Chains A and B, each alone.
Chain A
Amino acid sequence: MERFITEANLQQFAATLAGKKHVLAPVASGGTTCFRRLVPGMRLDFSRMAVISPKDATFPRNETLLLVQRYVEESGKKLELKEQLPEGECIVIGSRPCGARGKLIFDPVYETEAIKDPYYLRRRDNTLFITLSCDRPESTCFCHSVGSNPADGTGSDVLLTAVEGGFFARAITPKGEELLADALFEEAGTRAEEAAAKQTKARELMGQAHDFSSAAAKLLERFDDMGFWQAQSNKCISCGACTYMCPTCYCFNITDDEAGLVSRRLRSWDNCMSHTFTLEGSGHNPRGTKAHRLKNRVGHKFSYYPDLHASQIACCGCGRCIKQCPAGVDIRQVVMAAQEYVDER
């Protein structure tokens, strides 16, 4: 199904949806554009790629797994334990193709023969993505090098492309078609061609894709070469900006909080660049330095994950980790350094 919607109508469509459902959309606040829960009255900001990916929709930064309440009744002490499975539908409006596609990296991990993560699966199955294709790829963008493109609809339900006066909308899934049935969407007319031209132009702007196919093996070759990793991680400050911003990073931490008579089991994003990620109870840390940790992050995305999951690179090429890195660490450069590494000995 192909439709058209004016910019004003899209804002209204989003606002109406937000009145009924949990809508996540890029909103400008405090000088920055982030995905946040849309409240009727807020405006979508499509002028910039949101700093934080729409990962929150399917894998929120916080998730209460269960709540425990203690109390006393006539009959004695009681302990009530409630599992908090996510409920309700979520709609993401204005994700970019990289962000929408990035969440697919989760599936081989959270839905296997052995393990099915009920929290993740519920969210995934109840979330729709209305994605906006990119027309101004940036210096940090490299989706084309990891098997995608600026108009990739994979993982999305609807793909929007900016055209004169509004957006050309194409439904990718049946649920997407239901969304486009809304009266605010108009006939697409000839805008399909205009959109196609825009998409092609955007792809051309990105230039030659880099070939990462040798990365998996080359990174493994460098596994024990800590000198290489120290040099690569010199400027890394070991924070978590890259992982938290990343649409494909799926690591979590589970912690129990308790205060007085209430306790809670919380799942929150974890960050492999942090010292505590692998800190063992004994005090030993197998990834004690930032070099170890950067090696793991890059290795995981470009080598270990692809090895396990049909050569799929666990990176969607959105470039957030490059753009937002306070020290300017460029994951592309690190992988390329491993690919191009020449043993001088």
Chain B
Amino acid sequence: MSQLEELKAAIRGHLDSLDCVIGWEQGYDPLHATPLFIRNESDLERLSISPLAVHNPATYATGFAGKKIGMVVRGCHSRSIIELLNEKLIERENVVLFGLCCDGVVSQRKIRTALPADPGFVEAVEIGDDALHITLAGEKTTIKLQDVLADKCRICAYPDPLLADVLIGNKHDSRPEETLACQEAFEAKPNAEKFTFWQDTMSRCIRCYACRNVCPMCVCQDYCIAASRDPLWMSQENSPAENFMFQMIHVSHLTGRCTECGECERACPVDIPLMLLRRYMNKQVQEVFGHQAGTSLDKTPPLLTFQVEEARIKERDW
């Protein structure tokens, strides 16, 4: 039985007791997937778990407060769920997790840039073991999966769900923590270059808040201080400084809570590499608090607690 069929069978067994199960299906064309909310057998038939199925179902978890739902989760998604549980934002008995041992998902941005221009109509996509075969205007283009794998998947240390009620697929051997060369290269740049980079990049931001709303850990959403007039943290001015202020709010509120699912960067319509900020902050959190959000149950986010003697905070003397 294929993994998909195995998964369908597992979901089928739970469907009656759940409000819905969140998975994926094909989106507006064969190259794009979209979240699927499975409520009945015909919904279930449309389920897809290809590497195109990228969305983090944990994004929707808090929206179903009080209802019991199922979610198909990859490794990174399960971290989001664990962090939500740790912060008591969802309840364990209200979620059934169908875990997928994951070999990585694609980056649509990379697919797009792998093609010389807008692709036009996508007629068909065939997913091989290590490549995507895309049919455009009758012509087949092949892209290696490895070349369009999302950044987070290239360095993923947790491909298998850390929490699941049903586990589908073969578990991976444990993987070392890795860093992205591009991340390191950016971090190593001089301040002036980084500053200019963010100035320019932030001038592209339209403050649509897709990064915020897609973030599974952003639970304020409707009450985000970026959009409120009381408290009034930000002007509605769409300028680099104000846009960056919002990103700083997001980073600040995610300190020690970000599970690195990469949804913010994926959702950004103008391709702002937000994960540069996330990964850097997470690295600091790891260094100072030895904490990685969503990797184990019953951990308090580091900024919500303290130690009288902080072993790894060296206070600067004067």
Contact = CB atoms under 8 A, between A and B. Distances in A.
A and B touch in the complex (CB under 8 A): yes
Interface of A: 29-32, 34, 36, 47-49, 51-52, 61-62, 136-140, 205, 231, 234-235, 237-241, 243-245, 253, 255, 257, 266, 268-269, 271, 274-276, 322-324, 326-330
Given A137-B121, A328-B34, A61 B222 contact: no
A205 B119 CA distance: 13
Contacts of A36: 203-204
Contact of B33 (A30, A61, A328): A328
B120 interface: yes
A34 B270 contact: yes
Given A253-B236, A326-B266, A327-B35, A276 B228 contact: yes
Contacts of B60: 234-235
Contacts of A231: 37
B118 A239 contact: no
B32 A241 contact: no
- Which 10 A-B pairs rank lowest in CB-CB distance, beginning with the nearest? A328-B34, A326-B267, A275-B222, A139-B29, A136-B120, A32-B271, A240-B208, A239-B213, A239-B210, A324-B269
Interface size on B, as a range, is 35 or more
B1 interface: no
A241 B34 contact: no
Contact of B28 (A239, A244, A330): A330
Interface class of chain B by DSSP: loop
A222 B217 CA distance: 33
> Which of A234, A241, A269, A326 is most buried by chain B, counting CB atoms within 10 A of its CB?
A326
Interface string B8-47: 0000000000000000000111011111010000000000
Given A31-B113, A48-B117, A266-B237, A275 B221 contact: yes
A25 to B, nearest CB: 15
A255 B35 contact: no
Interface string B194-228: 00000011011011111011100000011100011
Given A31-B271, A253-B236, 14 more contacts: A29-B200, A32-B270, A62-B237, A136-B117, A136-B120, A138-B119, A205-B120, A205-B121, A231-B37, A235-B55, A245-B208, A275-B223, A328-B35, A329-B34
Nearest to B24: A328
B118 A255 contact: no
B32 to A, nearest CB: 6
18 contacts: A31-B109, A31-B271, A32-B270, A136-B117, A138-B119, A139-B29, A237-B267, A239-B214, A240-B209, A266-B235, A266-B236, A269-B238, A271-B208, A275-B221, A275-B223, A327-B35, A328-B27, A329-B34
Contacts of B119: 136, 138
B239 interface: yes
B141 to A, nearest CB: 14
Interface in B116-161: 116-122, 137
A241 B28 contact: no
B107 to A, nearest CB: 11
A327 B204 contact: no
Given A137-B120, A328-B35, A257 B208 contact: no
A30 B132 CA distance: 25
A139 B34 contact: no
Contacts of A241: 208, 210, 267, 269
Given A235-B34, A275-B221, A268 B237 contact: yes
B55 to A, nearest CB: 7
Contacts of B222: 238, 275-276
Contacts of A237: 59, 210, 213-214, 267
Contacts of A271: 208
Contacts of B137: 205
Given A31-B109, A326-B267, A47 B204 contact: no
Nearest to A37: B203
A243 B27 CA distance: 20
A235 B206 CA distance: 22
B85 interface: no
Contacts of B118: 47-49, 136, 138
Contacts of A275: 221-223, 227
B28 to A, nearest CB: 5
B249 interface: no
Which of A32, A47, A48 counts the most chain B CB atoms within 10 A? A32
Most chain B beta-carbon contacts within 10 A, residue among A49, A239, A266: A239
A79 B27 CA distance: 56
Nearest to A270: B236
A66 to B, nearest CB: 14
B245 interface: no
A12 to B, nearest CB: 22
A57 to B, nearest CB: 15
Interface in B68-123: 109, 113, 116-122
Nearest to B108: A323
B63 to A, nearest CB: 8
Nearest to A333: B28
B312 interface: no
A140 B221 CA distance: 28
B86 to A, nearest CB: 22
A143 to B, nearest CB: 14
B204 A30 contact: yes
Interface string B268-281: 01111100000000
A248 to B, nearest CB: 16
A47 B112 CA distance: 12
A269 B208 CA distance: 10
Contacts of B34: 235, 327-330
B235 A255 contact: yes
Contact of A239 (B35, B208, B223, B271): B208
Contacts of B228: 276
A46 to B, nearest CB: 9
